[in-house]
Amino acid sequence: MQNPTFPVFDLGQFEKASPEEKAARGAEVDRICRGTGFLAVKNHGISQAVIDAAWSKARAFFDLPPEQKQRSKAPYKGYPYGYLGPELEALAKSRNVDTPPDLKESFNGGPLSVPPGMSDPEALAFCYAETIWPEAPDGFIHAWKAYYAALEDLALRIMRVFATALGLPETYFDTYLDAPISALRALNYPEQHVAPKPGQIRAGAHTDYGSLTILLPQAGSRGLQIVTPGGEWTEVPPIAGAFVINIGDLMARWTNDRWVSTVHRVVNPAAGGRDRRQSMAFFHQPNWDAEIKVLDACLADGEPPKYGPVRSGPYLMAKFKATTK
Ligand SMILES: O=C(O)CCC(=O)C(=O)O
Ligand SMILES: [Fe+2]
């Protein structure tokens, strides 16, 4: 059953609304982001063919024998892209909680091109490092890039909703987002044939790091849970045709914690179940050099910001390196 309280936002309707109506719908998004920062976005305009192709190529990749997948593995610890095999990441470590590794594998890819003039050695070695493409299945790279490009555009449109929600001009964030360093991650949570270790789950409790995440969970699948403002775990229901959106730590910082980067996790199938689960997560991240400084719009007169400014790229790098081993 769908959770009747999980908010669903109609993006197409927002985009064609009058300024007054946009402000009203934006206020609703502000309310959601003050609460959990998790919502579903429907009527997003992304072609189903693009979604289905990326999904099925990712699935076919995960179905390959382990040795073949390993040929596109990240070449060293801390390398952000390529195949990350089972039990190499524990997301709970990002919150200093020591758990056994997450029960998942992933394929990860970065920006589709390096912006002209980019010369920062750290950026080139990290965010703009090459994606280690798999040799199979045929058509993987094409489908991946089409999905990445579509989601990059969708993320920008959602950031415009966020600007409206904060009472800013709709395009306020655009200049921070013209060379974003987002990452796309296909996730596979294999069937569970052996009992997990104590404290071992599919994705340990964590918050996302960036501006926003666009998640496509497997249709009808279970397991994604978020902490409610009341402190309880609740399940995010799968909503057909919609993406699940959540804001990340950088957005909480930008808004001086007016908005919440909510803790979430993926739990194991219920006792007796062992179902495989797949998802695709697009982690949107502002330009490498973007300076993220608390928005004046989120401070009362004379109120000091809780956070000093950070640069998007180095901030992401530090967060990422805490969770891979
Ligand atoms: O697979 C999912 O549904 C969520 C994964 C997630 O939260 C993450 O990788 O950050
Ligand atoms: Fe996450």
What the block records as the tokens of 48 is 């189903």
- Ligand 1 centre to CA of 16 (Å) is 31
The preferred substitution site among 105, 187, 263 for testing ligand 1, maximizing ligand atoms within 8 Å of CB, is 187
pLDDT in tens, 304-316: 999 999 999 999 9
What are the backbone angles phi and psi of residue 17, rounded to the nearest 5°?
Answer: -80, 160
pLDDT in tens, 117-160: 999 999 999 999 999 999 999 999 999 999 999 999 999 999 99
For tokens 């490009």, the residue is: 149
What the block records as the tokens of 200 is 């071992």
Distance CA 249, CA 210 (A): 6
Residue 44 lies in a domain: yes
Residue 1 lies in a domain: no
Structure ipTM over 0.90, yes or no = yes
- Ligand 1 centre to CA of 235 (Å) is 13
Q: Which amino acid is at 131?
A: T
pLDDT in tens, 227-283: 999 999 999 998 999 999 999 999 999 999 999 999 999 999 987 778 999 999 999
Ligand closest to Cα of 102 equals: 1
- Ligand 2 centre to CA of 282 (Å) is 10
Residue 262 lies in a domain: yes
Domains in the chain, number:
1
What the block records as the tokens of 201 is 């789950």
Q: Tell me the CA end-to-end span of the chain in Å, nearest whole number.
A: 38
pTM over 0.80, yes/no: yes
CATH number at residue 294: 2.60.120.330
User: Cα-Cα-Cα-Cα dihedral of 10, 40, 49, 70, to 10°?
Assistant: 160
Distance CA 55, CA 144 (A): 9
Residue 2 lies in a domain: no
Partners of residue 264 on adjacent β-strands: 206, 226
Whole domain around residue 38: which residue ranges?
8-321
